[in-house]
A = this chain, B = another copy of it.
Amino acid sequence: MSVNKVILIGNVGQDPEVRHLDKDVTVANFSLATSESYTAKNGEKVTTTEWHNIVVWRGLAKVVEQYVSKGDKLYIEGRIRTRSWDDKDGNKRYTTEIYADNLEMLTPRGQSTGGGQQMSEPKNQQAESVNEPDFSSSEEDDLPF
């Protein structure tokens, strides 16, 4: 009875941070920039950039670990999730993230201009388009999110 869907095409702000949790679960985090331009009253072109916090789990996170680096252009399909946490002063703070369910690499291999180690050829065609499979709820509710 409801839909929560996000579609982004943008550039990766920095090499993804990848963590390997228990049970062979991988998580990757990175930010993705999208930008909009318009011409202001004075004729000047103004560009505003929006930064999105992307979170990727499991198999898709492994793809990110192997193939995504700073500067890459990505297509991301996912959903919005706002989580709360307590800051050092005990105030409730909110962070909005995009949980990626699908991801496509739009930067041709070997053209990454980012800061990370140089990308070799993709080991595997699958890497260019991977969907997050549905995971059983039995492991789902062990995870810290």
Contacts and interface: CB of A to CB of B under 8 A. Distances in A.
A130 B49 CA distance: 17
Interface in A1-58: 1-11, 33-41, 45-46, 50-52
A55 to B, nearest CB: 14
Contacts of A1: 9, 35, 73, 104-106, 128-129
Nearest to A129: B1
B125 A96 contact: no
A6 B3 contact: no
Given A7-B7, A40-B137, A82-B50, A106 B106 contact: yes
25 contacts: A1-B105, A1-B129, A2-B8, A3-B8, A3-B104, A4-B10, A4-B36, A4-B52, A5-B6, A5-B8, A7-B7, A38-B140, A39-B137, A41-B138, A45-B125, A46-B137, A50-B79, A50-B82, A52-B80, A80-B80, A80-B96, A82-B96, A96-B96, A133-B133, A133-B134
Nearest to A42: B141
Given A34-B3, A34-B4, A104 B39 contact: no
A123 interface: no
A46 B141 CA distance: 10
A91 B89 CA distance: 11
A64 to B, nearest CB: 16
Interface in A95-145: 95-96, 104-106, 125-126, 128-129, 131, 133-134, 137-138, 140-142
